[in-house]
């Protein structure tokens, strides 16, 4: 009798050592540690970058001046000019016909005792930080000697919070660059910058720029370090760029043309951003693509992050939701040539024409491009016809480059079926699937890939996000419900990593005052940034991706929704650990009892990393960015079993030393 009590007590202890109280009979899970079924590709979890929601200009590209080159449709958008005293014609917007990519500039004509102040409002203000240095620069031309530019940083009340003066020398008809550095004395998310010039004299100005000194890796003209750091923290395996629909463009003229995004920034031709006008209820009339962040910088970012670069190129079709403009097949050659030249730009020897351009930009070593996408969300027989021509030409010259083809806008339906069949018939390396669906869809389709063909084209889950009906705090749709559903779905991607080789949430960034698309992975304002619960889920899978998949079964089948439980298991062959991802998408705690098969003995402890919140509407915010963030703890293992009680609404990652 005494022994019985002792046994009962011991069992109770083991149960309690996991978390909480047992709700019901444990679900018995088996994990065949000794029977890995496939290798997880090193490319598995990556990021999708697009200049949407002020992702690039006004976002990760740290330029603080909006419309620095006066090339917006309205040349003085973002600028305010004040003259003392006012004189008609003292400020003109002029054109340099010889500079076709960046023709406009402003001419200020000043008389003795007069002054002109140009104030730039930034992108929804400028994020300025106390104690930080800012690098001002502009291109200028003047015949006058002794003109001085007073550069001020201002707070929203117009008070000066940083100041310097730069002396403009006479330029004898040519253009020169003027630079100055100033330190900001106060932090403000809504700062501005002004330049005041006093007469007499005439001066032409262009490319007026202001960058913080604390860019990523301290690169002049670089990227916002906090935003890149959030990416680096995920250790993304690849970075897809430049989108998204932006690759397609509203029409072909508006498509992304990578060749126009490299070289000196003053020669990169600005175009309107298609998200400027895509959604009238979220119009952003001041949204343009300056391409200060262009293809060279994307490749460099990929290199910094240790991620495979994955450019997506226009396939000769503009966005089919917009103009649906199409290049005739007979005229497709320049588009295909762009793809071939891109491979040379990324990988070519410096003696090749495009390899030399890369070297001239400061990167003689190749970028090691291995992946290339042709078309974004394009569809129809027209797409297949064009894709085939790209594939033939690229594979003929670069057989080792793996190509990504589009399966359209949806993960099912006629459009999808046609493309899926067509691309498989072409033996395309990767099929890019997109799913923006309700959380319920993600829960219901966690087993989507369990029945996919095991041979032929592999899957790139290129864009996905659960779109919840209800928003969480601050009107964000990135609530815990969405992230939890995504986590459940991701166990299905991981379980099928033999055919799913890449996955990325979309879109990546959104500025809280400049977004067009909600939800997004990371939210920013002018000074702050935070990862959403979806970010935490992506990061958890990415940081613990392992190397080999092992079968995790419940009653002989994958765990994909039984009692709201979802799971996958992998082995980290370097750490020699078994990693189990277990998602409880229901409100009730669910207990599991897990017996790894093929292990002689279990260690005494395992580590647990958990994301959990009892409220599905909970979300991270600027004020509380860690509301949903990983918590770690230790689990005690006994009797060759892990008994674990997964709390309601939880994502659990258990690591067991083997």
Q: How far apart are CB 418 and ligand AHR at their closest, in Å?
A: 18
Nearest C-alpha neighbor of 94 from the set 109, 114, 110: 109
| Cis omega (within 30 of 0) for bond into 519 | yes
Instruction: List Cα–Cα distances, 116 to 152, 169, 314, in angstroms.
Output: 13, 18, 44
Q: Is 541 helix (H, G, I), strand (E, B) or coil?
A: helix
CB closer to ligand AHR, 344 vs 463: 463
Contact (Cβ atoms closer than 8 angstroms) between residue 124 and residue 514? yes
Indicate the helix (H) or strand (E) that contains 302: helix 295-305
DSSP 330: G
Contact (Cβ atoms closer than 8 angstroms) between residue 82 and residue 90? no
Nearest C-alpha neighbor of 289 from the set 323, 318, 260: 260
CB closer to ligand AHR, 26 vs 58: 58
Catalytic residue flag (residue 88)? no
Q: How far apart are CB 56 and ligand AHR at their closest, in Å?
A: 13
CB closer to ligand AHR, 164 vs 471: 471
Q: How far apart are CB 462 and ligand AHR at their closest, in Å?
A: 8
DSSP 245-256: HHHH-SSGGGS-
Q: How far apart are CB 274 and ligand AHR at their closest, in Å?
A: 9
| Helix and strand element counts for the chain (H, E) | 11, 36
Q: How far apart are CB 478 and ligand AHR at their closest, in Å?
A: 14
CB closer to ligand AHR, 315 vs 651: 315
Q: Which phi-psi region, left, alpha or beta, contains residue 120 (left: φ > 0; alpha: ψ -120 to 50)? A: beta
φ, ψ for residue 587, nearest 5 deg: -75, -30
Six-digit token pair at 647?
Answer: 């709390």
Contact (Cβ atoms closer than 8 angstroms) between residue 438 and residue 445? no
Q: How far apart are CB 377 and ligand AHR at their closest, in Å?
A: 5
In the set 377, 433, 486, 494, the catalytic residue is 377
CB closer to ligand AHR, 273 vs 650: 273
Q: How far apart are CB 471 and ligand AHR at their closest, in Å?
A: 18
Q: CA-based angle 296:298:299, to the nearest 5?
A: 65
Contact (Cβ atoms closer than 8 angstroms) between residue 620 and residue 626? yes
CB closer to ligand AHR, 335 vs 509: 509
Burial category of 430 from C-beta neighbours within 10 Å (exposed 0-12, middle 13-18, buried 19 and up): buried
Six-digit token pair at 415?
Answer: 């459009």
Euclidean distance between CA atoms 177 and 163, whole angstroms: 19
CB closer to ligand AHR, 64 vs 506: 506
Residue with tokens 């973002």: 78
CB closer to ligand AHR, 300 vs 320: 320
Euclidean distance between CA atoms 229 and 529, whole angstroms: 10
Any bridge partners for residue 622, and if so which?
none
Q: How far apart are CB 256 and ligand AHR at their closest, in Å?
A: 11
Helix 533-543 vs helix 225-234: crossing angle, to nearest 10: 50
Q: How far apart are CB 326 and ligand AHR at their closest, in Å?
A: 18
Residues that bind ligand AHR (CB under 6 A): 50, 52, 243-245, 376-377, 463, 506-507, 517
CB closer to ligand AHR, 136 vs 435: 435
Indicate the helix (H) or strand (E) that contains 612: strand 605-612
Count of Cβ atoms closer than 10 Å to residue 380 Cβ: 17
Give the active site residues. Answer: 377
């Amino acid at each position: 009798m005494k022994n019985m009590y002792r046994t009962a007590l011991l069992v109770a202890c083991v149960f309690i050592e996991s978390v909480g109280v047992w709700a019901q009979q444990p679900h018995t899970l088996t994990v065949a540690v000794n029977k890995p079924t496939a290798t997880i590709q090193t490319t598995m979890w990556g990021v999708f970058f697009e200049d949407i929601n002020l992702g690039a200009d006004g976002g990760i590209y740290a330029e603080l001046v909006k419309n620095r080159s006066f090339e917006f449709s309205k040349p003085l958008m973002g600028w305010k000019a004040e003259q003392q005293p006012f004189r008609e014609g003292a400020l003109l917007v002029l054109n340099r016909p010889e500079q076709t990519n960046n023709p406009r500039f402003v001419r200020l004509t000043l008389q003795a005792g007069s002054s002109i102040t140009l104030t730039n409002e930034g992108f929804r203000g400028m994020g300025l930080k106390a104690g930080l240095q800012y690098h001002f620069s502009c291109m200028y031309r003047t015949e006058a000697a002794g003109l001085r530019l007073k550069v001020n940083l201002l707070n929203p009340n117009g008070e000066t919070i940083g100041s310097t003066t730069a002396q403009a020398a006479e330029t004898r008809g040519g253009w020169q660059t003027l630079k100055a550095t100033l330190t900001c004395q106060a932090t403000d998310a809504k700062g501005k910058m002004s330049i005041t010039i006093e007469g007499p004299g005439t001066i032409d100005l262009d490319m007026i720029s202001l960058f913080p000194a604390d860019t990523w890796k301290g690169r002049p003209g670089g990227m916002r370090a906090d935003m890149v750091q959030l990416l680096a923290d995920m250790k993304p395996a690849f970075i897809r760029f430049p989108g998204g629909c932006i690759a397609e463009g509203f029409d072909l003229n508006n498509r992304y043309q990578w060749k126009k995004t490299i070289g000196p920034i003053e020669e990169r031709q600005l175009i309107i951003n298609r998200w400027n006008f895509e959604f009238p209820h979220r119009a952003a009339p001041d949204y343009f693509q300056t391409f200060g962040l262009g293809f060279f910088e994307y490749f460099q970012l990929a290199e910094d992050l240790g991620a495979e670069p994955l450019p997506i190129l226009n396939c000769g079709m503009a966005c089919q939701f917009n103009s649906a403009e199409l290049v005739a097949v007979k005229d497709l050659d320049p588009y295909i040539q762009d793809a071939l030249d891109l491979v040379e730009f990324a990988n070519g020897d410096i003696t090749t024409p495009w390899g030399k351009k890369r070297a001239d930009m400061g990167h003689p070593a190749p970028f090691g491009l291995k992946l290339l996408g042709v078309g974004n969300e394009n569809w129809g027989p027209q797409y297949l016809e064009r894709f085939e021509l790209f594939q033939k030409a690229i594979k003929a010259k670069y057989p080792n480059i793996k190509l990504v083809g589009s399966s359209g806008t949806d993960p099912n339906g006629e459009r999808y079926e046609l493309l899926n069949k067509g691309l498989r018939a072409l033996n395309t390396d990767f099929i890019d699937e997109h799913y923006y669906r309700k959380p319920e869809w993600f829960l219901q389709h966690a087993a989507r890939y369990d029945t996919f063909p095991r041979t032929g084209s592999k899957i790139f889950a290129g864009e996905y996000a659960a779109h919840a009906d209800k928003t969480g705090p601050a009107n964000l749709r990135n609530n815990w419900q969405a992230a939890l559903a995504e986590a459940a779905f991701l166990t299905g991607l991981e379980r099928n990593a033999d055919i799913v080789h890449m996955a990325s949430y979309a879109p990546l960034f959104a500025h809280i005052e400049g977004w067009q698309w909600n939800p997004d992975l990371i939210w920013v304002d002018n000074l702050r940034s935070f990862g959403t619960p979806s970010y935490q889920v992506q990061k958890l899978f990415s940081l613990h991706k392992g190397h080999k998949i092992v079968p995790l079964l419940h009653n002989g089948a994958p765990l994909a929704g039984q009692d709201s439980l979802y799971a996958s298991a992998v082995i980290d062959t370097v750490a020699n650990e078994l990693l189990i991802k277990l998602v409880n998408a229901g409100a009730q705690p669910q207990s599991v009892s897990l017996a790894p098969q093929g292990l002689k003995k279990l260690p005494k402890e395992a580590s647990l990393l958990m994301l959990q919140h009892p409220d599905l509407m909970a979300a991270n915010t600027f004020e509380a960015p860690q509301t949903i963030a990983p918590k770690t703890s230790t689990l005690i293992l006994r009797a060759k079993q892990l008994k674990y009680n997964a709390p309601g609404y939880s994502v659990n990652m258990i690591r067991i030393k083997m």
